[in-house]
Amino acid sequence: MVKTYADIILPLAVSDTYTFEVPADLKEKLVIGKRVEVQFGAKRVYAGIVEKIYETGPLGYKTKPVLNILDEEPIITTTHLALWQWIANYYMCTKGEVMAAGLPSAFKLSSETLLLLHPNFDDDFSLLNEREYLIAEALTIQNEITIEDAREILQLKQVFYVIKGLLEKGVILVKEELVERYKPKLSSYVALHETYQAEAALKDLFEQLEKRAAKQLAVLMAYMQLTGGKNKGWLKKKELLDKAGASSGHFKSLRDKGIFLEEKRQVSRMEEAAAAEEVIAYELSSTQQTAYDQLKAELLEKPVVTLFGVTSSGKTQLYMQLIEEYIQQGKQVLYLLPEIALTTQMIGRLRKVFGHQIGVYHSKFNDQERIEIWQKVLLGEYKVVVGARSGVFLPFVDLGLVIVDEEHDHSFKQYDPAPRYHARDTAIYLAHLFKAKTILGSATPSLETHFNATKLHKYGIVRLTERYGGVKLPVIDLVDMREAALQKEVRSLFSNYLLKAIQQALELGEQVILFQNRRGYAPYFICGDCSWIPYCVQCDVSLTYHKYAKELRCHYCGFRHPLYKKCDECGGTDLRIAGFGTEKIEEEIQLFLPGVKTGRLDLETARSKKGFEKTLEAFQDQKIQILIGTQMVTKGLDFDNVSLVGILSADQLLSFPDFRASERGFQLMMQVSGRAGRRQKQGRVIIQSNNMDYPVLQFMLNQDYPAFINSEMHSRLRLDYPPFYRMIQVDLKHKDKEKVNRASFYVAKTLRQMFGEQLLGPTVPLVSFIRRYHIRQILIKLGRSGKEIAQGKQWIRKVVEHLKQHKDFKSVIVQINVDPY
């Protein structure tokens, strides 16, 4: 007998897809890309995505049935399923892991999913059906329940439909860990029932209310006024009641009698902000126009074009022009930026031009907002989406162009968890699936992109070598801190030279940015007697001192410890703070330049979006004179009044034991320098370094990125590093140090039979103990040919599978990172 089966992707790392049988009554509505409810294992239920539907006889093994179909329409297209498949293959993970990363949480229900009452839900149960009511009621008593609990409460096996209804009505939320939550805006909307659009009925109603219910009549009158006599359409409830001078109670009787309808709607934050203001006419300079023409010509020839433009050359204006052209052709555009570059500043600029057609997507948005954006992209309502790396997962229907700005930025790479994808490379594949075009923009392109463009000629190239408005590149000064110290010209972390320059700038009413690399400068506690340093109990890193919280914290696992009163080692009480975090720099600035107004932008202050934007705004409005920051100050920010940028310790950027240290260091310095000197004035950059031997510093002095790339390429080639080779990193983790050692030697030995000298390790990484897990690392270099890469990946997969079956090593966690950065 012929049966229907469906292959379902579940958000799990175990296997790629699972086969379920499709009951006859669900057959007709089952479509690829819809979510279905299925049971997995003895008890758990999941919402999975239909990937394949086929008919055949019995499979020879038992399959469970699909329990229910959750969506009216597919939430994901076959094109995107193809992207998932590519990501899973390329980055060596399961499609379930891609699904987990790609879908907003409220789409990913499982029996363990935690449900919460929506903070804006106002106990108005009248719009809920009986089942929804039971769940909502349970949530007013308990703070959170699992979907499993919901099954118990309803005495039902299939509850996802009820949950989905509650989510859509804004009554509940799916609990998300680690995501900062905004309160989504919910508003009540009301409308006159259509019966009363007929004049006779309306007249009757009038007479009825006139006699007995003056306030209700006032509501009706207000409605007529607000609708301009049309007497139909939805209004905000609040607006109506304000106009009528009536209360919710008055309205309730109208609603209960069926005269008015009421609906809770989520007010789109995007829409509210989107009201397109006047469109700024922007003239491209002749240099920009030439570049623009070249860009268009190159796009005809090549699917991917790189735009190498120095800082402030006006790349954004070229993007905007191009986006407009694609929108006019009815196409969608994805515009990817590094997370921290997604500032209100940038988005406001785009909104002014693209109004309602633009959506913004990144990790700081809550789930409801993400689903809203998801739907609008799927329906083609959003023509442009500006997003951080997860933007590549949005369900575009007619994508025409992808722009990856600051393509060199390593926040495009996801480190943890799997899929460990690079959004730039994924975006190029996404564009390829739509036969769309990709633009990679940067002032300091990655070596990979540079190589693909200039050596392999895979990508077209357009250059913008002039800053917009003829502004000159800043003047760069190098300060040898060792020499300065000998001359007694150093005060703590500052050379007198830099301090004097800061003072001069401030006297002229100009602003200053001070950049301190985040790595290695976190302040920590140290015993003045025996040099003991408090360490995290779960990781092999020292604890960081947090002045405002008055405690020590681990930046790897979040472990906290109150401040020590005395040394754990010798009992001494002379505990000091060492290291220079941004807080400490702020303190010192106050010491040397009393009364100056400072602000900080670092991981700590950026944790809340508000804090981040407040600081930026204050700096913009010149309420802050000196902005002290880490990596955050380098991107997406335009300030008119900054004349000086100080880089406090360049050697810290460059001494990191990583083959990309020079590339990253140069890119960072170049980006942060780009903040100096905008409109009228040439800016100034002062770079301090304790070690002047790094060749990068000389290239930086001349701001000669091409020369730097040339020299760096030679050393990469000599050492068999990317872009000439591909790398795959295999991490093994276990709580038992001895076991992970043995397992890593075992894996390395087996793989070495295939990869020989191209395998490095196992090594103990710089931080080799995190969250009580010991880590060992194996690095494999592969040639660039597709065949060699595919073969190599297959070997690695086999060995990992083998390890998973090995009786001693089953419990060892293996993480594969393709193109680790």
Do the strands 551-553 and 726-734 form a parallel or antiparallel pair, or are they unpaired?
Answer: unpaired
The verdict on 570 binding Zn ion (CB under 5 A) reads yes
CB of 301 to Zn ion, least distance (A): 51
CB of 568 to Zn ion, least distance (A): 8
At 61, list the tokens.
């093994």
**Looking at beta carbons, which pairs linking 54-59 to residues 24 or more positions away fall under 8 Å?**
54/4, 54/5, 54/6, 55/2, 55/3, 55/4, 55/5, 56/2, 56/3, 56/5, 57/1, 57/2, 57/3, 58/1, 58/3, 59/5, 59/19
The verdict on 564 binding Zn ion (CB under 5 A) reads no
**Can you tell me which of 182, 556, 745, 795 binds Zn ion, judged by CB under 5 A?**
556
Residue placing its CB nearer to Zn ion in the complex, 572 or 783? 572
Q: Could you tell me how many residues make up the chain?
A: 821
CB of 727 to Zn ion, least distance (A): 27
Residue placing its CB nearer to Zn ion in the complex, 429 or 532? 532
Q: How far apart are the first and last CA of the chain?
A: 53
Residue placing its CB nearer to Zn ion in the complex, 284 or 557? 557
Are the beta carbons of 768 and 756 closer than 8 angstroms? no
The verdict on 569 binding Zn ion (CB under 5 A) reads yes
Task: Output DSSP code: residue 314.
Answer: -
Please work out the total of residues on this chain that contact Zn ion, with binding judged by CB under 5 A: 15
Residue placing its CB nearer to Zn ion in the complex, 539 or 728? 539
Residue placing its CB nearer to Zn ion in the complex, 419 or 534? 534
CB of 768 to Zn ion, least distance (A): 13
At 477, list the tokens.
């000064």
Are the beta carbons of 47 and 111 closer than 8 angstroms? no
Residue placing its CB nearer to Zn ion in the complex, 53 or 575? 575
Residue span binding Zn ion (CB under 5 A) among the ranges 396-404, 561-569, 582-590, 810-818: 561-569
Q: Give the span between the Cα atoms of 206 and 433, in whole angstroms.
A: 60
Burial (Cβ within 10 Å: 0-12, 13-18, ≥19) of residue 15: exposed
The string of DSSP letters for 20-61 reads: EE--HHHHTT--TT-EEEEEETTTEEEEEEEEEEEEES--SS
CB of 560 to Zn ion, least distance (A): 10
The verdict on 579 binding Zn ion (CB under 5 A) reads no
CB of 773 to Zn ion, least distance (A): 11
Nearest to 80 by CA among 300, 396, 302: 396
- Counting Cα atoms < 13 Å in the Cβ hemisphere of 259 gives 20
Q: Give the span between the Cα atoms of 746 and 762, in whole angstroms.
A: 10
Cα of 736 vs its chain's centroid, Å: 34
Nearest to 703 by CA among 467, 411, 473: 473
Residue span binding Zn ion (CB under 5 A) among the ranges 23-31, 496-504, 569-577, 691-699: 569-577
The verdict on 554 binding Zn ion (CB under 5 A) reads yes
Q: Give the span between the Cα atoms of 771 and 559, in whole angstroms.
A: 9
Residue placing its CB nearer to Zn ion in the complex, 497 or 532? 532
Q: Which residues pair with 36 in a beta bridge?
A: 48, 69
Q: Residue 296 CB: number of other CB atoms within 10 A?
A: 15
- Counting Cα atoms < 13 Å in the Cβ hemisphere of 343 gives 21
Residue placing its CB nearer to Zn ion in the complex, 13 or 767? 767
Residue placing its CB nearer to Zn ion in the complex, 182 or 556? 556
Extended beta strands in 91-227, E state: 114-117, 144-146, 172-174, 186-192
Residue placing its CB nearer to Zn ion in the complex, 335 or 535? 535
Residue placing its CB nearer to Zn ion in the complex, 5 or 773? 773
Q: Give the span between the Cα atoms of 6 and 774, in whole angstroms.
A: 41
The verdict on 538 binding Zn ion (CB under 5 A) reads yes
Residue placing its CB nearer to Zn ion in the complex, 570 or 591? 570
Residue placing its CB nearer to Zn ion in the complex, 733 or 793? 733
CB of 766 to Zn ion, least distance (A): 14
* Three-state secondary structure call for residue 726: strand
Residue placing its CB nearer to Zn ion in the complex, 334 or 567? 567
The verdict on 82 binding Zn ion (CB under 5 A) reads no
To 10 degrees, the CA torsion angle through 202, 205, 209, 215? -50
**Can you tell me which of 86, 234, 559, 745 binds Zn ion, judged by CB under 5 A?**
559
Cα of 372 vs its chain's centroid, Å: 17
Residue placing its CB nearer to Zn ion in the complex, 557 or 764? 557
CB of 529 to Zn ion, least distance (A): 5
Residue placing its CB nearer to Zn ion in the complex, 534 or 792? 534
* Three-state secondary structure call for residue 715: helix
CB of 323 to Zn ion, least distance (A): 44
Question: 390-408 burial by CB neighbour count: b if 16+ within 10 A, else e?
Answer: bbbbbbbeebbbbbbbbbb
* Three-state secondary structure call for residue 557: coil
CB of 519 to Zn ion, least distance (A): 16
Residue span binding Zn ion (CB under 5 A) among the ranges 223-231, 238-246, 395-403, 560-568: 560-568
**Can you tell me which of 305, 536, 676, 818 binds Zn ion, judged by CB under 5 A?**
536
Question: 584-620 burial by CB neighbour count: b if 16+ within 10 A, else e?
Answer: bbbebbeeebeebebbbbbebbbeeeeebeebbeebb
**Can you tell me which of 70, 87, 567, 650 binds Zn ion, judged by CB under 5 A?**
567
CB of 564 to Zn ion, least distance (A): 10
CB of 774 to Zn ion, least distance (A): 13
Are the beta carbons of 552 and 544 closer than 8 angstroms? yes
Residue placing its CB nearer to Zn ion in the complex, 196 or 773? 773
- Site residues for Zn ion, window 491-530 (CB under 5 A)? 527, 529-530
Q: Give the span between the Cα atoms of 208 and 254, in whole angstroms.
A: 12
Q: Residue 500 CB: number of other CB atoms within 10 A?
A: 12
CB of 518 to Zn ion, least distance (A): 17
Residue span binding Zn ion (CB under 5 A) among the ranges 460-468, 564-572, 670-678, 728-736: 564-572
* Three-state secondary structure call for residue 374: helix
Looking up tokens 């998932």 gives 84
**Can you tell me which of 539, 616, 633, 732 binds Zn ion, judged by CB under 5 A?**
539
The verdict on 543 binding Zn ion (CB under 5 A) reads no
Residue placing its CB nearer to Zn ion in the complex, 206 or 532? 532
Are the beta carbons of 391 and 358 closer than 8 angstroms? no
CB of 534 to Zn ion, least distance (A): 11
The verdict on 557 binding Zn ion (CB under 5 A) reads yes
- Give the residues lining the site for Zn ion (CB under 5 A): 527, 529-530, 532, 536, 538-539, 554, 556-557, 559, 567, 569-570, 572
